[in-house]
């Protein structure tokens, strides 16, 4: 057979194999969360690969087995993933700062009912909005009207701007320290404010899309967390279990009086 033809056939086969691999890698990953209240199935988003891969790693290592839903707020969300809750001693340490990953905000992924998102520390100590590597929550939420969504937009923009200013304050202070020259808090504020003015004039405010507005008004969710907490999946089966867990009676710290335990998590087919 002609050498050129052989090479062409080999090249075609390689391209074919690579194409198959690429197609396969775009398939979504599904995770089954079996709890004492029932089973929830979620689809992980490929658009948030850091969170997806981290969650898969934890599931495969059986990290979540035996952990409880330690924070439950009706019409808001159910939260789990704190390893300290395996001890079930009545006091749960804050592990949000011990293991974090970068945020992966995506305007197309939002806090509709059933959304899976990463918990994190607040903006005042976490201005980069890094996600907890272990703690997650599933949105139950509620339905919103147009006025409530407008208020949520204002809240989101205020949080984004405050977090950005905190970042500029820190970066400006660090930069001045590196010069080795003395400086005052007032100088830091002045320089950071100038940078903030530039940021504000060059950055558009966050706005809900029409799809998001319609979803929040018809199906519900928790819109005030958009653009500040990373959404990385959604419930495909068992939303009734989410509602069931969210309806549990809780104590003053929002912990269910009756422990809702994650018995087992595993990767499953669609």
267: tokens are 């990767």
pLDDT digits (tens, 9 = 90+) for 69-119: 999 999 999 999 999 898 654 454 456 788 999 999 999 999 999 999 999
User: Whole-number mean pLDDT of the chain?
Assistant: 89
Cα 109 from Cα 44, distance rounded (Å): 11
pLDDT at 51: 98
pLDDT digits (tens, 9 = 90+) for 181-233: 899 999 999 999 999 999 999 999 999 999 999 999 999 999 999 999 999 99
Domain layout of the chain by residue ranges = 29-141+220-268, 147-202
As assigned by CATH, the class of the 29-141+220-268 domain is: mainly beta
Residues in the chain: 270
Cβ atoms of 232 and 45 closer than 8 Å: yes
Least confident of 98-102, 113-117, 133-137, 238-242: 98-102
Cα 90 from Cα 70, distance rounded (Å): 10
pLDDT above 70 as % of the chain: 87
243: part of which helix (H) or strand (E)? helix 239-246
């Amino acid at each position: 057979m002609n050498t050129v033809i052989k090479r062409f056939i080999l090249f075609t086969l390689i391209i074919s194999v690579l194409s198959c691999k690429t197609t396969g890698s775009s398939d979504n990953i599904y995770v089954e969360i079996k709890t004492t209240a029932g089973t929830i199935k979620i689809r992980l988003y490929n658009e948030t690969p850091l969170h997806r891969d981290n969650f898969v790693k934890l599931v495969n290592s059986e990290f979540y087995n035996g952990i409880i839903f330690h924070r439950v707020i009706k019409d808001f969300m159910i939260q789990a993933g704190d390893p300290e809750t395996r001890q079930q001693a009545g006091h749960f340490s804050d592990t949000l700062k011990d293991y974090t990953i970068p945020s992966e905000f995506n305007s197309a992924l939002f806090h509709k009912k059933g959304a899976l998102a990463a918990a994190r520390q607040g903006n005042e100590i976490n201005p980069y909005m890094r996600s907890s590597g272990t703690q997650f929550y599933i949105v139950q939420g509620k339905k919103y009207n147009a006025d409530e969504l407008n208020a949520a937009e204002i809240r989101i923009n205020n949080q984004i701007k405050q977090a950005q200013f905190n970042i500029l304050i820190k970066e400006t202070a660090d930069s001045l320290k590196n010069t080795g020259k003395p400086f005052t808090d007032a100088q830091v504020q002045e320089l950071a404010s100038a940078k903030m003015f530039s940021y504000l004039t060059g950055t558009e405010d966050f706005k809900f899309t029409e799809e998001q507005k319609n979803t929040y008004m018809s199906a519900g969710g928790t819109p005030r967390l958009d653009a500040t907490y990373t959404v990385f999946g959604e419930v495909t089966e068992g939303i009734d279990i989410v509602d069931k867990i969210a309806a549990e009676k809780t104590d003053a710290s929002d912990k269910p009086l009756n422990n809702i335990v994650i018995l087992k998590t595993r990767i499953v087919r669609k």
